[in-house]
């Protein structure tokens, strides 16, 4: 009995060490698939004057359906702009691994100084040790917003100069029949914009995407 007791005492530390090692391995292996969405009504999936006016599957919901591993914090706000958001944005904690910055439509529509605001947001995210994705501007109906292309080019250039990914929303297939009004997408176009964002997210964190199918 005495020998058996000694063997039991010796075994317990070994079992405890194994349990701790397995727990540590699991913690290391879990990918960080957290993303924060900052933007305007296009990213909110809204249209019209009321916050309750949203397409059936807003971008945050579409993103979750397409890439279910991601945990999404949606801070998008209809009517928002980089120019107006910057002062409060740089006071926010940045817990998410990836921060999506989708602005420019309201900056262009109001003639705001878009570049310094967008660059300030990117710099703040980078200083927090997080990864930015800048989106281009979605398309609008012809002649509705003459500055749209110039502001889209600014977003692309800022992303390139700051060394962050650019989700090219201007490259998503556009059909005026897919618009609620001159500016806001219906569901099909909104989903195509999200698919462009997914391409960028997959570059940042391929481990958060579903495994590629074999064969």
Is 213 contained in some domain? Answer: no
Judgement on whether residues 93 and 42 belong to the same structural domain of the protein: yes
pLDDT digits (tens, 9 = 90+) for 128-138: 999 999 999 99
Tell whether 13 and 94 lie within a shared domain. no
pLDDT of res. 12: 45
User: 57 and 123 in one domain?
Assistant: yes
Among 86-90, 118-122, 133-137, 143-147, which is the least confidently predicted range? 143-147
Question: Is pLDDT of 17 > 80?
Answer: no
In a domain, 146, yes or no: yes
pLDDT number for residue 51: 86
User: CATH code at 152?
Assistant: 3.40.50.1110
User: Residue 159 is part of which domain span?
Assistant: 31-208
Confidence (pLDDT) at 24: 47
Same domain as 10, residue 40 = no
> What domain count does the chain have?
2
Whether the CB-CB separation of 82 and 113 falls below 8 Å is answered with no
* Together in a domain, 121 and 48: yes
Classify the C-alpha dihedral 65-31-162-87 as positive or negative: positive
Is the pLDDT at 18 greater than 60? The verdict is no
The model's pLDDT over 19-69, given as tens digits with 9 standing for 90+, comes to: 555 554 444 668 999 999 999 999 999 998 788 899 999 999 999 999 999
Does residue 134 belong to any structural domain of this protein?
yes
Residues 82, 83, 89, 91, Cα dihedral to 10°: 160
Among 32, 41, 31, CA closest to 193: 41
């Amino acid at each position: 009995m005495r020998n058996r007791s000694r063997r039991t005492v010796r075994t317990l530390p070994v079992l405890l060490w194994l349990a701790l090692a397995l727990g540590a391995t699991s913690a290391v292996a879990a990918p960080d698939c957290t993303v924060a969405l900052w933007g305007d009504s296009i990213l909110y999936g809204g249209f019209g004057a009321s916050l309750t006016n949203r397409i059936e599957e807003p971008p945050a919901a579409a993103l979750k359906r397409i890439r279910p591993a991601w945990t999404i914090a949606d801070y998008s706000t209809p009517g928002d702009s980089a120019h107006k958001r910057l002062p409060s944005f740089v006071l926010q904690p940045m817990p998410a691994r990836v921060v999506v910055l989708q602005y420019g439509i309201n900056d262009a529509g109001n003639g705001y100084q878009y570049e310094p605001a967008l660059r300030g947001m990117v710099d703040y995210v980078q200083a927090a040790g997080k990864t930015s994705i800048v989106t281009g501007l979605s398309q609008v109906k012809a002649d509705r917003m003459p500055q749209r292309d110039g502001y889209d080019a600014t977003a692309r250039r800022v992303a390139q100069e700051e060394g962050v990914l650019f989700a090219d929303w201007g490259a998503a297939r556009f059909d005026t029949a897919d618009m609620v009004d001159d500016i806001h997408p219906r569901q099909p176009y909104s989903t195509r914009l999200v698919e462009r964002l997914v391409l960028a997210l997959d570059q940042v964190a391929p481990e958060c995407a579903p495994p590629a199918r074999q064969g």
